[in-house]
Amino acid sequence: MAFTVLVKDAHSLARVGRLKTRSGSVETPVFMPVATKTAVKHISPEMLEEMGAQATISNSFVLSLRPGAKIVKKVGGIHTLSTYTGVMFTDSGGFQMYSPSLYKGSNDLGVEFKNPYSGERIFMTPEQNMQLQLDLGSDVAMCFDTMPLIEHSKDAVALAVNRTSSWARRCKETHDTLQKKVSKGKRQLLFGIVQGGVHDDLRRISAGALTELDFDGFAIGGLALGEAKEEEYRMIEVCQEYLPRNKPVYLMGAGNPIELLEAIERGCDIFDSRFPTMNARHGNIFSWKGKYIVTNAEHKASLKPLDESCDCSVCKRYSRAYVCHLIRNEEGVGYQLASYHNLYFLQELMRRVRKAIKVGTFGKFKKTFIKNYSKK
């Protein structure tokens, strides 16, 4: 079993666990910076290691376009390519169905994409996607899914759920076959993805179908997309009724600090999101006293660090005035400093969460954090 629950919170589903992969272990709850093309925007692999980021997630479909699976395989996989020493997840690329420049259409067999560089049509089946993610050499692969958007009709979501379930089975079978000869410790893990929009019954159907398959972990997809927070939290609860408690649960796309705590309380272990880096590039800074906009005029001459109670290397050295000036001028260093801080903030939040769960104070920790964070 790749996942071990180490400590359970007495008052909620929160827990500390360990996910063992062929490239090392991560302690959960864990937040993964998004490294679509194997690099986080403006943050180098050694910066990720320095801030204690245990894992990242890259996008297999995007990488298949550039530099291409052949090149990545030739150099020895995404670990060798990027030199990042943490655990590397890859997403399937199902999400790219929402890039109008990439997506052409889909049927029960798979998805048709357009290569934006060559114009070439690419038909991607779940089977091919499993081969791709193995070629890329990630430690954890995600099933090739069909993600509905919240504005889709319930019928469309139901269709997506059916297709996701059928593709999950095909992914699992292919993935098992492809790794038959790989020794257990060297095997890539595979997570299934539950869909179903904000519909309790569809989430139940999806989670029920997925859990029939012996995945190494289960992801909850199609949330954190703009639906009401209460709906998101309820969907997590509905899914958790079905998901096995001895497997890690990965809430995809969530990166708001409060959202992470609510999801952890509801038994989620793994997270990823562009939220911290995208916010950083727009001058939105996470702090223990709440989020604020460093490019606002009030910070122009402020020699305070981004967050007075943060001990990241950016807060130790740089001022709000400098970050404000650089981001207003669209300077790469400004994006780098703000992104580093925001990512560090989430890493530190996860460290404190794990500690709180271990010492039995998670509930109190969450309450205090949210109180302070919601002040602004």
Residues that bind its own copies (CB under 8 A): 37-46, 66-67, 71, 74-76, 80-83, 300-301, 303, 313, 317-319, 321-322, 324-326, 328-329, 331-337
Burial-class residue 339 by CB neighbours within 10 Å (0-12, 13-18, 19+). buried
Shortest Cβ distance from residue 82 to its own copies (Å)?
Answer: 6
For 263, phi and psi rounded to 5 degrees?
-70, -35
By C-beta, is 304 or 367 nearer to its own copies? Answer: 304
91 given a catalytic annotation = yes
Q: Closest by alpha carbon to 275, among 251, 295, 299, 296? A: 251
Smallest distance, its own copies to C-beta of residue 320, A? 10
Instruction: Write down the least CB distance from residue 76 to its own copies, Å.
Output: 8
Nearest approach in angstroms of CB 16 to its own copies is 31
In the set 9, 91, 135, 145, the catalytic residue is 91
Asked if residues 77 and 88 have their Cβ atoms less than 8 Å apart, the reply is no
What's the closest the beta carbon of residue 93 comes to its own copies, in angstroms? 16
Nearer to its own copies, 217 or 334 (CB): 334
Pairing of strands 87-91, 140-142: parallel
Q: Which is nearer to its own copies, 113 or 322 (CB)?
A: 322
- Please name the residues in contact with 91: beta carbons below 8 A apart, sequence gap of 6 or more: 57, 58, 59, 60, 142, 252
- Number of Cα atoms under 13 Å in the Cβ half of residue 143: 33
Cβ-based nearer residue to its own copies, 12 or 319:
319
Burial label for 200, CB within 10 Å (0-12, 13-18, 19+), is middle
CB of 173 to its own copies, least distance (A): 31
Question: In the beta sheet, which residues pair with residue 219?
Answer: 193, 250
What is the enclosing helix (H) or strand (E) of 20? strand 15-21
List strands edge to edge, sheet with 121-124. Answer: 103-106, 111-114, 121-124
CB of 323 vs its own copies, minimal distance in Å? 10
Decide whether 49 or 176 has the Cβ nearer to its own copies: 49
| Neighbour count for residue 252 (Cβ, 10 Å) | 25
Encoded amino acid at 83, one letter? T
The residue among 10 and 71 lying less far from its own copies, judged by its C-beta, is: 71
Say if CB 246 and CB 6 are below 8 A apart. no
Residue 157 DSSP SS3: helix
Query: Which residue is listed with tokens 């114009």?
Result: 119
- Choose the catalytic residue: 135, 145, 272, 307: 272
Whichever of 65 and 168 has its CB closer to its own copies, that residue is 65
Q: Could you give the residue numbers annotated as active site?
A: 91, 272
